[in-house]
Copies of this chain bind each other. A is one copy, B any other.
Amino acid sequence: MSQAETLVAVQRLRLTPVRRRALEILLEAHRALGAYEVLERLAEEGFGKQPPVAYRALEFLVENGLAHRIRRLNAFTACMHPGEAHVPAFLICRVCDSVAEAAGAPVRAALDDAAIALGFSVERASIEAVGLCPQCRAHTQAGGVAHG
């Protein structure tokens, strides 16, 4: 949160109460939240009850590098490295739905190469992997945990 505040101050962004609270909600969750989940929490605290309230706050956070959108989950997650020039690659566990943010710079470089070969210029990329996180991998191998 402090990282976020510093960043906001430097960039002269307006981290208003809704936006700030939305970010805190994402940070506290330790997982990706759907827009309606965020909305529900915001509404409980006296903010607006309608979808645009959440979508706008989340859009602001994403635009300014404070959060990410995980398209595969239709969800949002707080950025773990705000301010750092980084390309995130998301590792989504199919068992526990946890989301880890991996270093995506080399991935992005490879992607740029592939794009250049086709004359395509990449502006933004979303790199999302589905698999097993270390914890769930251990469990699955050991006990044969069912997953659906």
Contacts and interface: CB of A to CB of B under 8 A. Distances in A.
Interface of A: 71-72, 89, 91, 93-94, 100, 102-104, 106-107, 109-111, 113-115, 117-134, 137
A70 to B, nearest CB: 10
Contacts of A102: 111, 114-115, 117-118, 120
Contact of A118 (B119, B122, B134): B134
A109 B114 CA distance: 13
Contact of A128 (B89, B110, B126, B129): B126
29 contacts: A71-B72, A71-B128, A89-B111, A91-B118, A91-B120, A91-B122, A94-B123, A100-B118, A102-B115, A103-B117, A104-B114, A106-B110, A106-B113, A110-B110, A115-B129, A119-B133, A120-B132, A120-B133, A121-B131, A122-B129, A122-B130, A123-B129, A123-B130, A124-B129, A124-B130, A125-B128, A126-B128, A126-B129, A127-B127
